[in-house]
Structure 1
Amino acid sequence: MRNDLRETPEYQAVADYLLRLHEPAFGRPHALTEPHATADGSAVVVTGAVYDKLEGLPRTALYRVRDGELRPLAGSPGSARWARFSPDGKRLAFLSDRATARVFQLYLLDVGKDGGEAVAGPEVPGTLEFAHWSPDGTRILLCVAGLGADLAGGQGSGTNVTAAPEADNWLPRVESGATDAAWRSLWLYTVDSGELVKLSPEGLNCWESGWCGPDRVVSVTSPDPGEDSWYSAVLTLVDVPTGETRELYRSPAQLGLPAATPDGGRVAIVRAVCSDRWLVAGDLAVIDVETGASTEIDTHGTDVTFLSWLDAGRLGYLGRRHLDSVAGIVDAAGTARELFSVGHAVGGPWYPDGAFTADGRVITVQHAYHLPHQVTWSGPGTEEVLASVAHEGTKRLLAVAGTAAPVSWEAPDGLEIEGILCTPPGEGPFPLVVNIHGGPIWSFLNSWQINYPWVPLLVSRGYAVLNPNPRGSSGRGQEFARHVVHDMGGADADDLLAGLDALVDRGIADPARIGLTGGSYGGFMSSWLVTRSTRFAASVPVAPVTDWYSQTFTSNIAGWGTTFLGADPEEPGNPVHRRSPVMHASRVVTPTLVVAGAKDRCTPPGQAEEFHRALLAHGTESGLVIYPLEGHGVRAQPALTDFLTRLTGWLHRHMPA
């Protein structure tokens, strides 16, 4: 297997496919996230992902939504994101790395001056992840991550530390526990005076935070900055004048999305069993700040993923329910009223988010397999498209990407399992690729490219792609999500095998041409299923766990793994060993291409190498690809083009369309 494919016809074909998609939008946004609006909805801003050419990762830029167009805002070198209007709507705070690549600092822009220059805020000791205006608009809460803090798996894993100069690339990697650069802290910036002070005390790591009235802050915190510590984080109240802290709420599940009323009387929080930081989807609770009493809110089966108080009595939320995206408002009595429920994606690449206006409307980014990203304004019985990223490249993709439709089947125990099936034109049976999502607690929706560029690419080559949501996926409530805890690779694997049987019986899938792929937990499952069945013609696991024992002593989320397995690695014969694909490599006959990133701290590349070596030792065809600059998944160009070339080539070789 060659390490450089750039001169091959296969690589050139994939590169041309991607160029045809993105070139018409060079210099303009091709995807949208982080919508925000003034309280009256008169001004809307979004973050756009922009390719100037197919090289590296896309930069991010800010766009004002006006007169049906996306107009650039605060243009500058580098990237900008997280634009937030002040409470009076006159100023815009945003984050940009224009001074130093990947190190985001605060900037302020006068909204009333179109084309005006943004003014830099004070430099913070690290990179900013969030910024929140105080309710009175006089101060900004800054969430600062040190240049050495862990990145979540959804961010690509690794750390956010800047690269060493090339002349110093011989220096060793050194670890000695948590360093000062690993912590996340809170700082306060007073806009008029320019004063910057640190708020959070030493020894308190602040993952997510927001204002709780004018003189308090609420934060999801832990006493350690390591990624594994997030899973046991608690909700903490921080007093601004004194810096004193008080634990407000804790849960055996994970906590996220803290949001408080403007007067600071109540805090809303989402409680959910989670497999990844930032991927929080679950039950909604509202806590009385003074008494600590919590009230559970019935959101009619919706796993909540976004919260925003409209005022002291109304709480806006978005979330997932089965294969739908849902938006609603909880009134002062605690009753949830839905604004909409749609069968496609709302928000960014992971979970629904948006922005609520004071009159009860919500602004979101909506998209589907057949619909490029568009900014939409929704209210009771109304919907208006404000702007779209559609262009000639998206038209070309839609012409070859086939169709997407919901599909369901029955698991061996009778549980209904859902997913999204993408098919090329014509009648089946098709060669089928099962695209397994990560997490395991996440889920597929009908979304643009189903969130992964290989899905429409495979369909354009004549493959059907099943994107399943087995038990453990979000959108079906906490009981459904907890099914995977202490049973990873058990009943959820049976769900996937049952789905294949159903699609074969329905004449959609060719039983002789079924393949697997997926990243993270999908990489584990793509490695695990080939030890369970010999029916697969090919498999391409990405960023997999293949040996839960060695994962425990090399990953930065080892505690999560042993908790979800319910196992102690020192006890022989427990799930750490029984559910490790590498321990069952002798059963595998499926040709397997294992892919990893060298900078991955969640599922280190040794996991891919172990499985590859084990397969070779048992005479099974295997390939190993490790990208030196990638982390958890393959994201940047030209590595992404190379990966797509190897994925389609491996499948074509072993199960041609």
Structure 2
Amino acid sequence: MFMPSYRDFRPAFTLQPCLALSADGRNVAFADDSTGNFNLVIQPVAGGPARAVTTFTSHTVRRMAWHPDGGSLLFQADQDGNEDTQIFRVGLDNSPPEQLTDFPKARFQLALGDPLSADGTALAYSGGDRIPTAHDILVRQLENNKINRLFLGTGPVHAGYFSLDGARLSLIEWLNGYDNLVHVVAVDGTSSTRLTATEAAATYELGPWLPDGSAFFVCTDIGREFTGLALMSATTGELTWIDTPDWDVERVSLSADGNTLAWLVNVDGASQLRVRDLAAGKDLPAPLLPLGQAAALTVGPDGSFALMLMSTPTRPWNVLVADLRTGELRWLTGSVPNGSPSVVDAQLVRYPTHDGREIAAYVYRPSGVDTPLGVVLSIHGGPVMQERPAYVYEGFYQYLVSRGLAVIAPNIRGSSGYGASYQRLIFRDWGGGDLGDLAATVDFLRTQPWADPARIGLFGGSYGGFAVLSCVARLPELGWAAAVEICGPSNLITLAEATPPAYREVVAKIIGDPETDVELLRQRSPMTYVDRISTPLFVLQGANDPRVPQRESDQLVERLRARGVPVRYDIYPDEGHGFTKTDNQIKARVDAADFLLHHLS
């Protein structure tokens, strides 16, 4: 009998969650790993072959932007996963990239919107080169490389969008956790205005300016459970609401002519597209997206089309072109699984948890199989992220299903997409109510005829890795059959102490302060209960991980091995927090799948 391999499910190439459209709307830039590493690629929107613009082997391209003249691109890239992103400029003439920033221990990030002024003379970005505890907003004049430090941050800050005349720049300043403040600064340095109040903190995602410079779009949850879309006055901060659904608005884009506005709404994890004609003041029929997740939405200059990244449970991430006049959808890139494997759709389920709340989860399982199956409980990272109906982990779920396992991927408390209150339940409660939600997931599985309660395994990375370790250390009575954790914190005290200075206030808000919350962090750390771990365990770790340092995995493995507990431990010397090199990704996924299949089949 033919048994597919993980490589059969692996996409021909994968894409970073970003893209950029040229000013004339003719070409799109993105980063894919068709070379074995994420490099900068351009492709005509009308169709045609893609062309790699960079040929890095150790750097990873993370974001990009076109220069308005269409002759060059700006991008940010880090090295071997260290996340110390630097900014580069590259032409389309096969010349090597020019590095514009060169501070190896500092992080520079392009503005969240279009980082270039409309005339192409100025570049906006944030950087941590002044002091290690803060980031600043910088504007570089590309003609002479003169840098104006417009805003001195006391913590993380991000540049937003230039006004159309290039005279002003929006920015957000992290206040604590996921709350932030909105500012507008004059590019000549003559003024700075804070538009939101500290006492009314909320989340804000900045969007483009109106052509007349009177206001700009924001996605915010101020006064609401869910993130809505509004216009913010550039002088007073007053909001004019545009869309306030009982789901989150995630991304907004405006055509260059200022007439066509498009945005995405996250409905139970699935993306919906909405479009408005601002000139006529009315909503337009929007193309119906397939059930899946969309990202990086960008409207063409004349409003006739929109570009986005899109993935479904059965289709990897690709660039999708949506004709906003006819509703036609067209896949621009053609990443498909390397083989021709059989794939399954995701099923949305709900079940109660310990405090009366409801958990939403996506289930993947073989069709037409009535006998009980081994089940992988997959826990997403973040924790403020969301399990969504997409081609998760480059086909990893689909491969497990092809080999006779089921996968359940819950959105436990702390997940985004289900309201601000639900999301913030995880703040300073890691290893608290979330652990109860995971126990409730096992209770749900025990009621399902397709699930074998004696063959439940765990899989997760980052926060998900912490949750995996918490389950095997603090809920051993649930009889976990196996566990795979990737880059997960084992000790919340040492994790908080190792946090880069600029993010310590954020960590204190979300996890806890290593100085004042020592007892709480000790009680919630898997290391405190390491002597209770007996589940077969596989740990994967990037040696260059700046978020969860290798020591977090080292100390766990050392204690387990000292007790004689078998644990597999694989360290990837050229990776950081989440693996980006194709060969490393494939090896890690194959090894993780083999481990789970051995114990759960």
* Shorter-chain TM-score tier: 0.7 to 0.9
Contact 1:297 1:334 in 2 (8 A): no
Q: Which residue of 1 aligns with 2:213?
A: 264
Q: What's the CA shift for 1:297?
A: 4.5
RMSD: 3.8
Q: For residue 540 of structure 1, what is the aligned residue in structure 2?
A: 484
What corresponds to 1:164 in structure 2?
Answer: none
**Structure 2 counterparts to residues 40-439 of structure 1, below 5 A:** 43-52=26-35, 54=36, 57-66=37-46, 68-72=47-51, 75=53, 77-78=55-56, 82-84=64-66, 86=68, 91=70, 93-95=72-74, 104-107=87-90, 123=100, 129-130=110-111, 132=114, 136-137=118-119, 139-143=121-125, 145=127, 178=132, 183=135, 185-189=137-141, 194-201=143-150, 203-204=152-153, 206-214=157-165, 215-221=167-173, 233-250=180-197, 252-271=201-220, 282-310=227-255, 315-329=261-275, 339=286, 342=289, 344-347=291-294, 351=295, 353-359=297-303, 361-372=305-316, 373-379=318-324, 382-390=327-335, 394=337, 396=339, 398-427=340-369, 428-439=371-382
Deviation at 1:232, TM superposition (A): 6.1
Inter-CA distance 189–632: structure 2 relative to 1 (3 Å threshold):
same
Q: Does residue 444 of structure 2 align to residue 527 of structure 1?
A: no
1:553 aligns with 2:504: no
Residue-by-residue CA offset, 1:460-484 (whole Å, 9 max, x unaligned): 3322111221222122222221232
Deviation, 1:525, is 0.7
- State the percentage of identical aligned residues: 23
C-alpha displacement of 1:648: 2.6
Tell me, in whole angstroms, the C-alpha distance in 1 between the residues paired with 2:171 and 2:407. 41
Partner of 1:497: 439
8 Å Cα contact 1:343-1:446 kept in structure 2: no
Matched letter for residue 516 of structure 2: E
Partner residue in 2 for 1:633: 578
Deviation by residue 1:283-342 (Cα, 9 ceiling, x = unmatched): 444321122323455431232222223465764322422121022246769987773564
Whole-angstrom distance in 1 between the partners of 2:566 and 2:362: 30
Counterpart residue identity of residue 307, structure 2: I
Partner letter of residue 355 of structure 1? Answer: V
**Over residues 199-246 of structure 1, what are the superposed CA-to-partner deviations in whole Å (9 max), with x where a residue is unaligned?**
333734642321124111112246xxxxx9885653221212345322
For 1:438, give the aligned amino acid.
Answer: G
Q: Which amino acid aligns with 2:525?
A: S
Aligned mates of 1:480, 1:518 — CA distance in 2: 21
Question: How many residues are aligned here?
Answer: 569
Pair 493,340 (structure 1): closer, same or farther in 2 beyond 3 Å: farther
Structure 2 vs 1, CA of residues 319 and 605 (structure 1 numbering), >3 Å: closer, same or farther?
farther
Query: Counterpart of 1:377 in structure 2: which amino acid?
Result: A
Whether the aligned pair in 1 keeps the contact of 2:27 and 2:42 (CA below 8 Å) is no
The answer for the alignment partner of 1:169 in structure 2 is none
Distance (Å, rounded) in 2 between the aligned partners of 1:293 and 1:644:
48
The structure-2 alpha-carbon separation of the partners of 1:452 and 1:483, relative to structure 1 and needing over 3 Å to count, comes to farther
SS at match of 2:235: coil
Segment drifting more, 366-375 vs 243-252: 243-252
Q: What letter matches 2:496 in structure 1?
A: T
- The amino acid of 2:357's aligned partner reads L
Distance in 1 of aligned mates of 2:266 and 2:209: 22
- Paired AA for residue 490 in structure 1: G
The one-letter amino acid paired with 1:303 is D
Check the 8 A contact 1:36/1:355 in 2, yes or no.
no
Amino acid at match of 1:434: L
| Structure 1: unaligned runs, 5 residues or longer | 1-12, 110-115, 150-176, 223-227, 274-280
Task: Determine the C-alpha separation between the residues in 1 that align with 2:446 and 2:190.
Answer: 62
Residues 597, 229 of structure 1: alpha-carbon distance in 2 compared, 3 angstrom cutoff: farther
Equivalent AA in structure 1 for residue 187 of structure 2: V
| 1:579 aligned partner, one-letter code | R
- Does 2:591 correspond to 1:652? no
How many Å apart are 1:595 and its aligned residue? 2.4
1:342, 1:645 → 2: CA distance? Answer: 32
Farther-moved stretch of structure 1 (507-516 vs 593-602): 593-602
Task: For residue 304 of structure 1, give the secondary structure of its aligned residue in structure 2.
Answer: strand
Residue deviations 1:157-195 (CA, integer Å, cap 9, x gap) = xxxxxxxxxxxxxxxxxxxx629xx855422446xxx34
What 5-or-longer segments of structure 2 have no aligned partner? none
| Secondary structure at the counterpart of residue 353 of structure 1 | strand
TM-score scaled to structure 1, two decimals? 0.75
Counterpart CA distance in 2 for 1:593 and 1:96 is: 36
1:439-588 to structure 2, matched below 5 A, reads 439-448=382-391, 450-530=392-472, 531-534=474-477, 535-556=479-500, 557-565=503-511, 569-571=515-517, 573-574=519-520, 576-588=521-533
Find the aligned partners of 1:337 and 1:419 in 2 and give their Cα distance.
Answer: 32
- Write out per-residue CA displacement over residues 594-617 of structure 1, whole angstroms, 9 at most, x where no aligned residue: 222222221222222333344445
Does the residue aligned with 2:509 lie in a helix, a strand or coil?
helix
